């Protein structure tokens, strides 16, 4: 619990520093403009004092030059006031968006986004509007509208990512969707590309399209499920597991299944998600052998630690022992079937 609180404190500090840093260029620019105006006013005032003898007795001491100098001085103050007002209005709009998302009022969500609410606004609980919409069966249209408005296509849980990354990946995700919709890219390639890059929102939209082959493999025999397990995209993997006809036991050209990949990466959560599928086949001895002697190549250059892999093996062994004591049928070769 202490570690969790410390992590939240660090994330809040990071957000504060990020907001402060983002405002730094504007503050620096205003300070520079203010200093120029002050120098302008002082120079005019000194000039007028040096030439005081030239001014008539009934002439007003506040001349045209001083008036001209004070106008640029007031302009930054006006800009600051407008910026503060716009920020306040934006905050109110974002709060309304957050409330609508939590209440699943998707029509209101669309309305607030159309009015300029930030689709990536920080919401309590480290979630986002598009993340919540992706887990609603009736909000696919909202998911696409949020993407069109600039939402982050990555729906993995966690704090908000930096603006430049969100903008770049949002553009790339929309390009993949448009390429598929315009016939420049087939469904299998689009789904694979979305999965590799972690665009969960794009995966969600593609899975809803008719004719998408969820088990289509690339040249290495890897399906989107293999990729999600290897890349650690937990949310994408859950959506893929819910897709009709998903093959959880399909091997790639090296004989590695999604379960093998999840164990290799030491992702205990994904291992448990896969074991929860009734059709899963768990061969602990085969997975151990493959983890001890992985093939050579780019995909195998970043294994989890032995301890993390060992935890995944422990989960699998406990799963097998649990099923041995259950009433489910054991296959002739000793492999175990059944959901956790």
265 lies in a domain?
Answer: yes
Query: Could you list the residue range(s) of the whole structural domain that residue 264 is in?
Result: 219-340
21 belongs to a structural domain: no
pLDDT in tens, the chain (340 residues): 433 345 556 666 666 666 666 666 666 776 777 777 777 777 767 776 776 666 666 655 555 555 666 666 666 667 777 777 888 888 899 999 999 999 999 999 999 999 999 999 877 766 889 999 998 878 889 999 999 999 999 998 877 788 899 999 999 999 999 999 999 999 999 999 999 999 999 999 999 998 899 999 999 999 999 999 999 999 999 999 999 999 999 999 999 999 999 999 999 999 999 999 999 999 999 999 999 999 888 888 889 999 999 999 999 999 999 888 764 454 555 454 444 4
HEC sequence for 278-303: CCCEECHHHHHHHHHCCCCCHHHCCC
SS3 37: helix
- Rounded distance, CA 225 to CA 260, Å? 12
* CA–CA separation, 288 and 310 (whole Å): 9
Q: Residue 290 sits in a domain of what CATH number? A: 1.25.40.20
For residue 234, the model assigns a pLDDT of 94
pLDDT in tens, 184-205: 999 999 999 999 999 999 999 9
Domain count for the chain, please give it: 1
Nearest to 153 by CA among 132, 138, 174: 174
| Residue 141 domain-assigned (yes or no) | no
Here the tokens at position 280 are 């899963």
- For residue 54, being part of any structural domain is answered with no
Does 25 map to a domain? no
On whether residue 233 sits in a domain, the answer given is yes
Task: State both tokens at 138.
Answer: 């009736």
Cβ-count burial 161-191 (b if 16+ within 10 Å, e if not): eeeeebeebbebbbebbeebeeeebebbebb
Question: Helix H segments across 211-334?
Answer: 224-231, 234-241, 258-264, 268-275, 284-292, 306-324
Residue 187 lies in a domain: no
pLDDT (tens digit per residue) in 205-227: 999 998 899 999 999 999 999 99
Residue 184 lies in a domain: no
């Amino acid at each position: 619990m202490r570690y969790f609180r410390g992590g939240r404190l660090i994330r809040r500090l990071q957000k504060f520093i990020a907001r402060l840093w983002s405002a730094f260029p504007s503050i620096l620019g205003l300070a520079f403009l203010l200093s120029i105006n002050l120098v302008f006013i002082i120079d005019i005032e000194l000039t007028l004092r040096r030439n005081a003898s030239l001014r008539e007795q009934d002439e007003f001491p506040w001349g045209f030059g001083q008036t001209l100098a004070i106008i640029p001085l007031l302009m930054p103050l006006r800009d600051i006031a407008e910026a503060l007002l716009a920020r306040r209005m934006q905050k109110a709009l974002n709060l309304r968006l957050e409330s609508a998302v939590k209440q699943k009022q998707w029509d209101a969500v669309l309305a607030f986004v159309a009015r300029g609410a930030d689709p990536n606004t920080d919401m309590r609980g480290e979630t986002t509007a598009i993340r919540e919409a992706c887990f609603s069966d009736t909000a696919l249209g909202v998911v696409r509208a949020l993407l069109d408005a600039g939402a982050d296509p990555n729906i993995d849980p966690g704090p908000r990512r930096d603006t430049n990354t969100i903008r770049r990946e949002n553009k790339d995700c929309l390009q993949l969707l448009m390429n598929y919709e315009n016939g420049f890219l087939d469904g299998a390639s689009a789904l694979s590309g979305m999965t590799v890059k972690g665009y969960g929102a794009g995966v969600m939209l593609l899975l809803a399209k008719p004719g998408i082959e969820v088990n289509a493999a690339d040249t290495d025999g890897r399906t989107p499920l293999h990729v999600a397990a290897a890349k650690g995209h937990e949310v994408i993997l859950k959506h893929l597991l819910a897709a009709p006809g998903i093959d959880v036991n399909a091997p790639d050209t090296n004989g590695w299944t999604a379960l093998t990949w999840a164990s290799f990466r030491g992702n205990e959560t994904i291992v448990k998600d896969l074991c929860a599928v009734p059709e899963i086949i768990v061969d602990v001895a085969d997975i151990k052998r493959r983890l001890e002697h992985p093939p050579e190549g780019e995909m195998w250059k970043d294994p989890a630690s032995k301890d993390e892999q060992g935890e995944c093996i422990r989960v699998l062994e406990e799963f097998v022992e649990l099923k041995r004591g259950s009433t489910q049928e054991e296959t002739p070769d000793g492999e175990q079937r059944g959901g956790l």
